[in-house]
Amino acid sequence: MNKEKVKNKVVNGCLIAIIGWSLFFAVMVAISVLPKIHTSFGDKEIEIIRKHMGITIDGNSTPVKLKETHGGGDSFYELWLEDIDDPEKFMENCYDGSYAVIEDKSDLQEFGGGFPYEYNYDDRLLFEDSYIVYTRAYNNGSKPSRYYYIIAFYKDGDSFKAKVVDED
């Protein structure tokens, strides 16, 4: 009888350990896929923008916010910029002519007629009111030109603001 009690305690202890490690692992995975939002920009954040979005911040714009989301081997980026003098010049400096103007914004409408909320700059500057919208295809290493950015510019006073959304 004594051996049975010891055996039951060992089994129960192993089950508790397995459940504990499973919960720990699940929490770690959940935390790793939470979006990271950057609102202050040092060398690390500027390098993320340059490396992952192909945008060089060189005084022709000011980054306001960067949102990174990672999960399932995929990355998603959103970037808010302000103090842009000329959208065409900005695009030329960033992408060397490898971009296109989206002539008809209705091509981006979702089923039901609305635009995706992630294209809005904020609650005041909505996508349907954007000044001009560009797209830029890029290669993620495995499928050329399947992925692209949507870059929407909004007139705000004497300058422009932009929202860059990584679409796939």
Predicted confidence (pLDDT) per residue in 54-111, tens digit: 888 777 788 999 998 877 667 788 899 999 999 998 888 887 767 888 887 776 766 6
Q: pLDDT by residue (tens digit) across 10-30?
A: 888 888 999 999 999 888 877
Spell out the residues 6+ positions from residue 94 whose beta carbon is closer than 8 angstroms to its own: 54, 55, 56
Q: Which of 116, 99, 52 has its CA nearest to residue 79?
A: 52
Give the whole-number percent of the chain exceeding pLDDT 90: 14
Its pTM stands at 0.75
DSSP state of 33: T
Lowest mean pLDDT among 58-67, 109-118, 152-161: 109-118
pLDDT of residue 72: 67
Q: Which of 90, 88, 33 has its CA nearest to residue 61?
A: 90
Q: How confident is the model at residue 123 (pLDDT cuts 50, 70, 90)?
A: confident
